[in-house]
Every structure is written in structure tokens, then in C-alpha cells.
């Protein structure tokens, strides 16, 4: 009897593990011509038309701070961070990176995708992109770069 239950459990968990192992979920956003994906587990929420309070004496890519329901969250512009020209971006994706909240200003939030784990490929090592940690083809034919969230916290 006990054994039977055990085997059930094992079956169930292994099946689920197999599912998650295969699929990874990403939030894809647009930044200039790039399409960048972030793992959904670190995404808190996406905001539009949030007013950002600029702070002086900071590097250009740090846009300022926003009031997220009483909490003060810093916002950086992914365009400027990647060395691209600034544009009138409006969407902020709030991330939770190891307990630290950080807003990322992007051109436009694109879509949510589920990608099989095996389709995620490492960046070519010659590529100088420090903020990206992988890339993958999207079902609609485009290519997605995977953003390394932890690297965003470094200057």
C-alpha cells in the first residue's frame, strides 16, 4: 500500500520535473532593434506611463526612482545601459533580483513565450555583450537574447 503511494508520487513528480525541465518561460521586450527575454521568475510586474523621478549625480542610464505602492524602486534604461540612443520609452518592467527590486525601462513589452530548455544556446564567446547570457530562436521566427538579470546590478 505504502509502496504504491510512493511510486505514484515518484511518477507524478518526475513527470512534472520533465515538463519544467523542457520548458522555460520568458517575458520578451523590445529594446531598439533587439528582442530581449527575461526569465519570468524574476519579473514582478510591468508598468506603463509610470512617472519617474530623476536623481542627479548618477550615470546616465539610471533614470531615477519610482513609487511602487509606497516602495521606492530605482529604474534604469536598458537602452542607455546597452549603449544605444535614448528614445521616449514608456514601459517599465519591475524585476526582483535576489531580493532587490529594479525597474527596467524598455521600448515595449512584447510577449510571453515558453521555450524548450534545449533551444537556449550560449552566446558566442567572442560577443562582447556582458548583460546577455544566452540566446534562442522564437517560434515566430525572430531571435531572442536572454538578459542576465544579476549582471544588471553591476555598474
Q: How far is the CB of 101 from another protein (least distance, A)?
A: 7
Is 147 a binder of another protein (CB under 8 A)? no
For another protein, the closer of residues 23 and 153 by Cβ is 153
Residues 6+ apart with CB under 8 A from 24: 39, 114, 115, 116, 117, 120
CA distances from 71 to 13, 58, 84 (A): 38, 20, 29
Nearest Cα to 61, choosing from 36, 44, 86? 86
Q: How far is the CB of 13 from another protein (least distance, A)?
A: 29
Q: How far is the CB of 54 from another protein (least distance, A)?
A: 7
Q: How far is the CB of 114 from another protein (least distance, A)?
A: 30
Please identify which residue in 6, 20, 22, 54 interacts with another protein, judged by CB under 8 A. 54
C-alpha to C-alpha distance for 73 and 38, rounded to whole angstroms: 18
Please identify which residue in 17, 72, 86, 150 interacts with another protein, judged by CB under 8 A. 72
Is 100 a binder of another protein (CB under 8 A)? yes
Residue 148 has a CB neighbour count (10 Å cut-off) of: 18
For another protein, the closer of residues 54 and 116 by Cβ is 54
Please identify which residue in 44, 46, 65, 123 interacts with another protein, judged by CB under 8 A. 65
Pairing verdict, β 34-39 and 132-137: unpaired
CB 93 within 8 A of CB 149: no
User: Any alpha helices (H) in 1-155, and if so which ranges?
Assistant: 2-22, 78-81, 149-152
Please identify which residue in 1, 19, 41, 59 interacts with another protein, judged by CB under 8 A. 59
CB 105 within 8 A of CB 115: no
Is 137 a binder of another protein (CB under 8 A)? no
Query: What does the binding site for another protein look like in residue numbers (CB under 8 A)?
Result: 51, 53-59, 62, 65-67, 70, 72-74, 100-102, 153, 155
Amino acid at each position: 500500500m505504502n509502496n504504491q503511494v510512493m511510486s505514484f508520487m515518484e511518477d507524478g513528480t518526475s513527470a512534472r520535473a520533465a515538463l519544467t525541465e523542457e520548458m522555460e518561460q520568458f517575458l520578451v521586450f523590445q529594446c531598439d532593434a533587439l528582442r530581449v527575454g527575461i526569465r519570468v521568475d524574476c519579473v514582478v510586474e510591468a508598468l506603463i506611463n509610470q512617472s519617474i523621478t530623476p536623481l542627479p549625480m548618477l550615470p546616465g542610464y539610471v533614470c531615477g526612482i519610482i513609487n511602487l505602492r509606497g516602495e521606492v524602486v530605482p529604474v534604469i534604461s536598458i537602452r542607455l545601459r546597452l549603449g544605444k540612443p535614448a528614445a521616449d520609452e514608456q514601459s517599465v518592467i519591475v524585476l526582483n533580483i535576489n531580493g532587490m527590486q529594479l525597474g527596467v525601462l524598455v521600448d515595449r513589452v512584447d510577449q510571453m513565450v515558453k521555450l524548450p530548455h534545449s533551444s537556449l544556446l550560449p552566446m558566442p564567446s567572442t560577443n562582447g555583450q556582458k548583460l546577455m547570457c544566452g540566446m534562442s530562436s522564437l517560434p515566430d521566427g525572430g531571435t531572442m537574447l536572454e538578459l542576465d538579470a544579476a549582471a544588471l546590478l553591476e555598474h
